[in-house]
Every structure is written in structure tokens, then in C-alpha cells.
Amino acid sequence: MRVTEVKVFPVTDEKLKAFVSVVLDECFMVNDIKVIEGRDGRFISMPSRRKRNGKFKDIAHPLNSQTRQMLEHEILGEYERVLNGEEPAERPKRRRRRSEAAPAVVAEPREPKPEPEPETTVVAPVDDDSSLEEVTERHLSDTFWTS
């Protein structure tokens, strides 16, 4: 995963220093990341919302410390450049050829389910002198209709 774009929106506040938007791999954006000035220096705070109980819950966040450190390094570096009036960091953009574009998600074709074999019922030959009840009993003998 690469950070392909960082946009910093400075804020004049005691602790909150900026809002940041980050684009990952030119295809996923995370907004409302905050740059905070803490007692031990600057750090980033991922976007969050307040739950009914008053506590805050991250909406999006890194799943491991290595990813968090990479994001923090990129975001705070860009924040420093903006503070110093420097140009944004040049991030190499890899132009994809049409053939290299991310493939569309297409469901794998499924093999059709085989048609069930028709059930064959063996019917005993009917005698000419069989009654209707006897014929019915023979036909229904293998079903749940008879007890």
C-alpha cells in the first residue's frame, strides 16, 4: 500500500493543528484525519464519531503499528512542508495503461447443476380382473400415501 496523495488543511487551534485527507494507492480516500499537538509532540488521530455513550470510535484506522507509523510519517511530513510554505511532496504517480487497470470484479461462472435423473417407477402389470383398489395399492405402495 502506498500513500499517493496527502492534502493538509491547517487549523488555528491550540491542540488541533490540521485536518488531512489521504489517498491510498490512487483508489481509496480517508478524510478527516487530524494532526494533534500533544504533550509529547505531534501525532495523528484517525477519523472517529461519538457513540451514544459519549465515547469516540474510529471509523477507519490502521490494523498494525507499521501501517500507523507509515501514515503518521507521510502525514506529518506533509504537514511540516505546508507549515514551511514548501511545495507538496512529489509522489510518483504510476499511470496505468488500460490493460493494467484494476480488473472489474466478475463472478466466476458456475457450472450448471446437473439435472436430476427422472425417477422411474416400476409398475406391476395389471391383471384384467384386478380391482381399482388393488391397482391403486400397487401404485402407491412405495409412497408416503400408504400406511
The residues spanned by each domain of the chain are: 3-93
**What distances in angstroms separate CA 109 from CA 57, 102, 114, 129, one per listed residue?**
40, 20, 15, 57
The pLDDT value given to residue 74: 92
**126 pLDDT tier (thresholds 50, 70, 90):** low
Rg of the chain, C-alpha, whole Å: 35
pTM for this one? Answer: 0.58
**87 pLDDT tier (thresholds 50, 70, 90):** confident
Whether pLDDT at 63 is above 80:
yes
Mean pLDDT of the 115-128 span: 60
The pLDDT value given to residue 29: 92
Kindly report the CATH number that applies to the domain delimited by 3-93: 3.30.1120.40
Question: What's the mean pLDDT when you consider all of the chain?
Answer: 78
Phi, psi of 144 (to 5 degrees): -80, -5
Whether pLDDT at 2 is above 70:
yes
Mean pLDDT of the 3-9 span: 91
Q: Cβ neighbours of residue 61 under 8 Å, at least 6 residues apart?
A: 46, 68
The pLDDT value given to residue 30: 92
Whether pLDDT at 72 is above 60:
yes
The pLDDT value given to residue 129: 64
Phi, psi of 36 (to 5 degrees): -115, 140
The larger pLDDT score, comparing residue 108 to residue 122, is at 108
Whether pLDDT at 147 is above 60:
no
